[in-house]
């Protein structure tokens, strides 16, 4: 074989190895970035879920509070009527 062909094959092989290693390293960095972003997203989702649960609890209790206010207002009116007599 000609020396130029051997040099070209060795150079091409080394270039291919370099590209494969570089691609592997880039993939590892990208996977790590994705894992980090997913962890941040999961934490934010947990916080939002906690806030929504608190809001839902508040929304469920409000009709009860409104009904209690109506009862209190009626009792006040009754007391005011008794006091006015």
Q: According to the model, what pLDDT value does residue 59 have? A: 76
Q: What is the pLDDT of residues 5-49, one digit of tens each?
A: 999 999 999 999 999 999 999 999 999 999 999 999 999 999 999
pLDDT (mean) for 38-61: 90
CA distance 13 to 17: 6
Of 48, 25, 29, 26, the closest CA to residue 37 belongs to: 29
CA distance 34 to 21: 20
Q: According to the model, what pLDDT value does residue 3 have? A: 92
Tell me how far CA of residue 68 lies from CA of 51, 58, 71, in angstroms: 26, 15, 5
């Amino acid at each position: 074989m000609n020396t130029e062909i051997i040099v070209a094959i060795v150079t091409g092989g080394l270039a291919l190895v370099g590209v494969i290693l570089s691609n592997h390293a880039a993939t590892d960095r990208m996977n790590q970035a994705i894992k980090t972003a997913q962890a941040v997203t999961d934490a934010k989702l947990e916080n939002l879920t906690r806030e929504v649960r608190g809001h839902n609890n508040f929304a469920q209790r409000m009709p009860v509070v409104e009904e209690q206010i109506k009862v209190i207002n009626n009792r006040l009116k009754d007391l005011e009527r008794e006091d006015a007599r």
